Structure 1
Amino acid sequence: MPDMSYVGMEDYDEYGPAVGCQAVEILEFNYRRRMPATNCIPADSPECISGTWYSLPGACPSKSLYKKTDECKQEYPSAQCDSPDGTSSCTYNTRYAGLVELDELVGIKDYEKWWANKTGPTGNFEYNRTIDMGNGTTWWNDRHSESLCDSRIEQVIDLFAKRYPQLPKDLPDPPCL
């Protein structure tokens, strides 16, 4: 992963870490909400019916996972805390609710072996935006298909429900204001 130290650190220095959210572009990826958005006007607008991406800022956001030094984590701590109060150092809290690995749904048992073998790269890739398909898997193909996008979401939800039957299958989306 490239060093991202050039991305928005001026804003981070001024405002601190902020939780982010963004409506998914339906024309780009046809993922839609399973439950209606609340407080969204007009209710049928793309922002109200599209899925949402959320970003929770961790410590040292300018560095890739394996390049986060203790010094960087101290200078740029996470905004996660026990009781969020809206200050720049305490904006969100999370609780572990389980894990679903997309590789299982995509059909990749061992990503390293799937991607490369002893002689080099296998030619497999999950998805190429230019050709709208993968090689070695078809799971992500046809990103504009509403039915395929709905099916992918349903597969994730079903696998989660299978692994964690004690948890609700559906929850409303957190607000994205």
Structure 2
Amino acid sequence: MNFGVVNTYDLGKCTGPFDCENLQHYGPVVGCETWDPDQDNNFPHGQWVGKNLYPNASWYSLPGKCSSKKFWDQQGECTQTEPGGACPLGIVPTGSHSCTYTYQKVGELRISEIENISSFEHLIEGGGREYDRATDKGVHVHFWDGIDDVDKCQRRIDAVNLLFQRKYPEQPILTDPACDFSLRKFYPYWPIGSFHTTTPAPGNSSNSSENASESSTKEETE
């Protein structure tokens, strides 16, 4: 495997799955997850299998420094004991506990660009809406029409990729790395999340960890 489990974070602190024991056992390995029901990598958010309808959708986690603490406490000793996986700029990942991935910001797209909205204020004043769940379409904006239609989901992916290429023509077209995480290979005592025992600790079952991960993810994205 090249990837580990996806870890979820609240304000910079790892909150799941289980007790984030994988970070101590394997180090700050990049995690990945898909929602393919036929694969062994749709964990810890299996409740979304069949609900995420974007073809080949994948999720990645990049463990940072001081994963046991929230942003405002990420200083002092933890920067040495929990260095995170980000390699220094220009360094190719070595696989050591302080260099498992590298990244570079190359550009961004704003939602207004993707939806082709010049002014949200004018959109609302004119009776427009980005999307209405009751009608499954927007008013004066049609990017999200058919939000659960697989073909339209793919068209949205293609539209965003094309827009990015037009905005940053100097950037290469890259493919997403295949998610080869395997739940049962990664956790030797599955469904137990510990790497050292076959007996779950109180409140540390697979179900409780999934619920904790789901809750933390909702808080992080809201």
TM-score category of the 2 structures, normalised to the smaller one: 0.5 to 0.7
Aligned to 1:88: 97
**Residue pairs, 1:72-151, within 5 angstroms:** 72-81=78-87, 82-106=91-115, 139-140=143-144, 142-151=146-155
Q: Is the 8 A contact 1:28 1:143 kept in 2?
A: no
Q: Is the 8 A contact 1:132 1:142 kept in 2?
A: no
Seen in structure 2, the aligned counterparts of structure 1 residues 54 and 156 have a Cα distance that, compared at 3 Å, is: same
Report the count of equivalent residues.
Answer: 145
* CA distances 1:102-135 after superposition (whole Å, capped 9, x unpaired): 3532467799x9xxxxxxxxxxx9889x979699
Aligned to 2:50: 27
Please, which runs of 5 or more residues in structure 1 have no aligned partner?
A: 33-49, 114-124
What residue identity is the alignment partner of 1:60? C
C-alpha RMSD of the superposition: 3.8
Q: 1:153: how far off?
A: 0.8
Aligned to 2:175: 172
Q: 1:52: how far off?
A: 2.1
Higher relative contact order (CA 8 A, sep 6+): 2
Matches of 2:69 and 2:145 in 1, distance apart? 31
Q: Is the 8 A contact 1:24 1:53 kept in 2?
A: no
Q: 1:147: how far off?
A: 2.2
Matches of 1:144 and 1:85 in 2, distance apart? 40
Please, which runs of 5 or more residues in structure 2 have no aligned partner?
A: 1-8, 37-48, 122-128, 181-222
Seen in structure 2, the aligned counterparts of structure 1 residues 132 and 14 have a Cα distance that, compared at 3 Å, is: farther
| Greater C-alpha radius of gyration | 2
Taking structure 2 as the reference length, the TM-score comes to 0.50
* CA distances 1:56-100 after superposition (whole Å, capped 9, x unpaired): 222233455x43522344432221211322222221122333222
How many percent identity over aligned positions? 32
Q: 1:6: how far off?
A: 3.9
SS of match in other structure, 2:86: coil
